[in-house]
Amino acid sequence: MAGGIGSRFWPMSRTSFPKQFLDILGTGKTLIQQTFDRFVDFIPVENIYIITSDEYISIVQEQLPRAVTSNILGEPSRKNTAPCIAYIAHKLNVLNPDGCLICAPADHLVMEHIAFKKVCIEALNFVRQNNALVTLGIKPTHPNTGYGYIQHEQYEVSDNVYKVKTFTEKPTLEIAKTFLASGDFLWNAGIFVWKVKSIVQAFEKYLPEINELFAAEMKALNTSGEKQAIEKIYPLCTNISIDYGIMEKADNVYIIPSSFGWSDLGTWNSAYENMEKDEAHNAISGNNTMLIDASGNMVHVNKDKLIVLQGISNYIVIDTGDVLLICSREKEQEIKEYVAEIKRSKGDRFL
């Protein structure tokens, strides 16, 4: 799933070139390239599909030259994760309803690839034998208030697989501390595994209005008429997440507790946490950055531009050439508000 706009990573992430196509951490690979490489390690390249916005198809083709061109699917509008998953589920249901499907965001970070592959294979084996909707849950390392949490039952139904009890959106710090102490809450990674026919059945039951739109155009899927059918379907789809639309309602949802160095890289602070730091705890991307009496800063600038920062601590400094952002790390959650204000006062030029 590669259609988001990543507004919390403004000004690097722009509507025309969002964060999944950026090398946020300075690793030499963009986030979507890292995601593709993770999956191609154990999934045949012809079985990897990328669903993105129509306007990003050329960027995906450029960044993922190994991807099968016909597997890069465009959405005519952004309608959240449920229509996106309904699209691929119905498309594959025509080809192989007994096939298994992993749905994952293109812009998340996974540091431990071997552990990730292992848990994905565990999940695939479980759903192959069960009518189950599986989500991967991350064992929390601290009381994070930016993630959703999933509570599971005490006893496993299979090796390392538990029935899900409750979903909780981003909690307060006190509640997050309670969740951490209880031991039966996991972070919601937004990575799902199921049989194709199992998720189609779930759409039939819990989101029938979306299901009917795709089912009505089933004969056009995997043909030259697919794009025209999708352009007809999407304006009629509800804007809804798969979590809210299906996962929180279904009675066959299971979770696998996982630990593979995951972050959703939702904010500049999450990028800071995953970057190498100097002795003063500054995370710097750029070859010519000088920090004097400065600590705890997140700096991302043009590699050739000389930047000198003196006397600042715990700031985000992002220079993209046409935009300079200097923002306290404590206020990073307000960046989306700044973007909205810029849109009102300056139009779309800097977005």
The pair of structure tokens assigned to 152 is: 């599971």
Confidence of residue 183 (pLDDT cuts 50, 70, 90): confident
Give the residue-averaged pLDDT of 17-38: 94
Q: What is the pLDDT of residue 288?
A: 87
Q: What is the pLDDT of residue 303?
A: 75
Q: What is the pLDDT of residue 144?
A: 86
pLDDT, one tens digit per residue, over 228-284 is 999 999 999 999 999 999 999 999 999 999 999 999 888 899 899 989 999 999 999
Could you give the CA distance from residue 116 to residue 119 in angstroms, rounded to a whole number? 5
Place of tokens 């016909």: 70
Question: Nearest 5 degrees, angle CA 339-CA 343-CA 346?
Answer: 115
Out of 91-95, 217-221, 321-325, pick the least confident. 321-325
Confidence of residue 42 (pLDDT cuts 50, 70, 90): very high
Tell whether the model's pLDDT for residue 194 goes beyond 90: yes
Residue boundaries of the structural domains of the chain: 7-266, 270-346
What topology is assigned to 7-266 in CATH? Spore Coat Polysaccharide Biosynthesis Protein SpsA; Chain A (3.90.550)
Share of the chain above pLDDT 90, in %: 84
Is the pLDDT higher at 170 or at 38? Answer: 38
Amino acid at the residue 296:
G
| Structural contact between residues 63 and 50, judged by C-beta atoms closer than 8 angstroms | no
Tell whether the model's pLDDT for residue 22 goes beyond 90: yes
Q: List the beta bridge partners of residue 318.
A: 300, 325
Q: What is the pLDDT of residue 285?
A: 84
Q: What is the pLDDT of residue 302?
A: 79
Tell whether the model's pLDDT for residue 286 goes beyond 80: no
| Sequential DSSP letters for 309-324 | EES-BSEEEEE-SS-E
130: left (phi > 0), else alpha (psi -120 to 50), else beta?
Answer: beta
Backbone angles phi, psi at 161, to 5 degrees: -120, 130
Q: What is the pLDDT of residue 11?
A: 93
- CA distances from residue 23 to 276, 277, 292 in whole angstroms, order as listed: 14, 17, 26
pLDDT mean across residues, the chain: 94
What H or E segment, with its residue span, contains residue 185? Answer: strand 185-195
Confidence of residue 201 (pLDDT cuts 50, 70, 90): very high
Amino acid at the residue 156:
E
Question: Nearest 5 degrees, angle CA 300-CA 276-CA 26?
Answer: 45
Tell whether the model's pLDDT for residue 48 goes beyond 90: yes
- What pTM did the predictor assign? 0.92
pLDDT, one tens digit per residue, over 104-161 is 999 999 999 999 999 999 999 999 999 999 999 999 988 888 889 999 999 999 999 9
Q: What is the pLDDT of residue 200?
A: 98
Q: What is the pLDDT of residue 213?
A: 98
Is the pLDDT higher at 305 or at 198? Answer: 198
Q: What is the pLDDT of residue 5?
A: 86
Q: What is the pLDDT of residue 27?
A: 86
